[in-house]
Structure 1
């Protein structure tokens, strides 16, 4: 069975794969874009688990060996990607690709060799009828413009995507990503998880092989600090009762089948408080949780304290950790400054946050504090985090896939077989689209000049 439009929409990123049908509000499948094999030597343990199989309640992900089709944002293993797509299309979407079109979200600046490999996968392995390739920022803008009248009228935005492999700041004008203005940080959710693994392994327990577990701990326990020196000072003053302290229990296969946080109330008590609150009066009874135990640390347990806010700090001040890159606020400013001066005030007022890392508590507030001193005083700064940063790109793809003109924008299987991948791909960067962009840019500049003359 298929959705109303008969178009499959796949947001194919390194961490999570989102798949569903054009016209739907939410994807049907939101699964890890990887394969994993449990440790051990018996025959049953050698079976590779794919996509949603890793999310089953009875699966212990401890020590699993991972295979990812995407590394550093780009497709490197088409065999693994084929197995993941096969699982998603056949078992979760229950769709026959030979009777469907595909809207695929690809990373920006995808090399021609990877584009060719992707087209082979789509047309030769799965036999889709037609293909349209879109980039994430333009789809995020499309979705938000359909919801926000102000953004629809301005027709431009700055999409900040804190993804799995990279973080991009991308100016978008009339659903067209201005590639010359895109700025990238080589930091994303994967780098944060790896950093947390290193900190935990150095301080308490070797978890370097526990990627899935540490990823879960990061998502549940980490938060963005609004005052890093102050929080570090607070932790030193209360060393024996660190307000950030919480314990994470790893599964042992006997007592605990799944990982969990020892005391959720204790874990949440600080990060949900206003920054100015007195640390000595948290206003919560930390003994309510049934999972709270008085036993000492075991070999299946580790404690997080300052790591909870030092890990997300990588995105804001990577230089403090020895990473020679600009922080997120400076990355945004550089992206805006690369655009025409008439677009710059509009872009600063239309910043959209998407991607899983933007879900850290206080992320938006911290970014605004970092960004405001770098922006001219007469410019407004408005930052909007998507309602669901995980689904934002996919929902934009769903809107586009359900539009009446979608099929005319696609490459068909017969065109691919006749002309090859390289020539077909030129349709996505046609002269008409480029001319349309320049006409739009000129129109925005003219209207902004008229607005200024009326002030």
Structure 2
């Protein structure tokens, strides 16, 4: 039985060696392959698009966001870029905003993560939406009321339909309501402008363009037209359109820009892993327990391109 395990880019050698020991010595795996999640996404993309030689995978997940260029199935290490903004940071920031403005929710990570997924979106015009969010009453099209769960009558929080909203803010029911306005789009905006909260790093569009600019000049047009979005943060409404709009503004005018969002960006890497495991060459990629017992960690370093 073969096992496929994903790990972050540029993982520490000490962690990799510990993982090898756990897999082969403690759990007695017969064979294993350690690989990056982005490599599996790229494999899936290249299998679907045989004519394409290059792609750039944007993987925006729980802890951070990676931008990784691939050519002929291999990652181009010089172009890998990491932004230290992920879903965890967005949820924590939303907790802080709500706790400061309305209700102490610092201990309610699970609930506020659900709030984030249900009501947040990526703005196409930040300053315009900020202006709308400052309007009063029904003119404020950004405002939403979110009903928090009480885990007895209301098992899961939900967003009140706009026609049921009471713009005076007073409800007769016993429901506990969060009123959300500019935080709906200001929280996901951190992916595009981390400097807004003091993280001195490039935003996502600049990082994509910076990564492509590190590639050989003749390959750059191919990367711009094969940008793939994966990871949970890409599910924010408006995410793909904003990435396209901002990258298009930064890219040379003669280059075509195309941004693909898979149907299920969370499982895209898993689907790539499934395809890879069905590949006839898969047996040559793995390290068997016999290989490991004979050669130690060095065989893993040689075989695993991580």
What is the TM-score with the length of structure 1 in the denominator? 0.63
1:335 aligns with 2:236: no
Q: CA deviation at 1:294?
A: 2.9
Contact 2:231–2:266 (Cα < 8 Å) also in 1? yes
The match for 1:194 among 63, 68, 92 is: 92
Q: CA deviation at 1:329?
A: 0.7
Q: CA deviation at 1:308?
A: 0.7
For the residues of structure 2 that align with 1:159 and 1:329, how far apart are their CA atoms?
13
Contact 1:158–1:170 (Cα < 8 Å) also in 2? yes
1:294 aligns with 2:183: no
1:238-279 superposed Cα distances (whole Å, 9 cap, x missing partner): 3576322223333334443x231151x33xxxxxxxxxxxxx
For the residues of structure 1 that align with 2:3 and 2:187, how far apart are their CA atoms?
37
1:224 aligns with 2:101: no
Q: CA deviation at 1:314?
A: 0.3
Contact 1:112–1:422 (Cα < 8 Å) also in 2? no
Task: Specify every segment of 5 or more residues in structure 1 that has no aligned partner in the other structure, as ranges.
Answer: 1-99, 267-285, 431-455
The match for 1:206 among 91, 94, 104 is: 104
Contact 1:200–1:207 (Cα < 8 Å) also in 2? yes
SS at match of 2:218: coil
Residue 132 to residue 307, structure 1, CA distance change in 2 (3 Å): same
For the residues of structure 2 that align with 1:103 and 1:320, how far apart are their CA atoms?
38
For the residues of structure 1 that align with 2:148 and 2:132, how far apart are their CA atoms?
28
**Corresponding residue number in structure 2 for 1:124:** 25
For the residues of structure 2 that align with 1:370 and 1:392, how far apart are their CA atoms?
24
Which structure would you say has the larger RCO, counting Cα contacts within 8 Å and 6 or more residues apart? 2
Task: Specify every segment of 5 or more residues in structure 2 that has no aligned partner in the other structure, as ranges.
Answer: none
Residues 14-413 of structure 1: matches in 2 within 5 Å? Answer: 100-148=1-49, 152-238=50-136, 242-256=140-154, 258-263=155-160, 265-266=161-162, 286-287=163-164, 294-295=171-172, 300-413=176-289
What is the TM-score with the length of structure 2 in the denominator? 0.92
Contact 1:139–1:175 (Cα < 8 Å) also in 2? no
Residue 228 to residue 415, structure 1, CA distance change in 2 (3 Å): same
For the residues of structure 1 that align with 2:138 and 2:249, how far apart are their CA atoms?
37
Question: Cα RMSD between the aligned structures?
Answer: 2.0
Residue 254 to residue 115, structure 1, CA distance change in 2 (3 Å): same
For the residues of structure 2 that align with 1:389 and 1:247, how far apart are their CA atoms?
28
SS at match of 1:346: helix
Q: Which is greater in Rg?
A: 1
Contact 1:248–1:262 (Cα < 8 Å) also in 2? yes
Residue 255 to residue 111, structure 1, CA distance change in 2 (3 Å): same
Q: CA deviation at 1:411?
A: 0.6
Q: How many corresponding residue pairs?
A: 302
1:117-175 superposed Cα distances (whole Å, 9 cap, x missing partner): 21222223322210011212221121122223xxx223110111111111111100111
SS at match of 1:342: helix
Contact 1:248–1:259 (Cα < 8 Å) also in 2? no
Contact 1:160–1:170 (Cα < 8 Å) also in 2? yes
1:27-61 superposed Cα distances (whole Å, 9 cap, x missing partner): xxxxxxxxxxxxxxxxxxxxxxxxxxxxxxxxxxx
Contact 1:130–1:413 (Cα < 8 Å) also in 2? yes
For the residues of structure 2 that align with 1:262 and 1:352, how far apart are their CA atoms?
30
1:87-127 superposed Cα distances (whole Å, 9 cap, x missing partner): xxxxxxxxxxxxx2101111111111111121222223322
SS at match of 1:172: strand
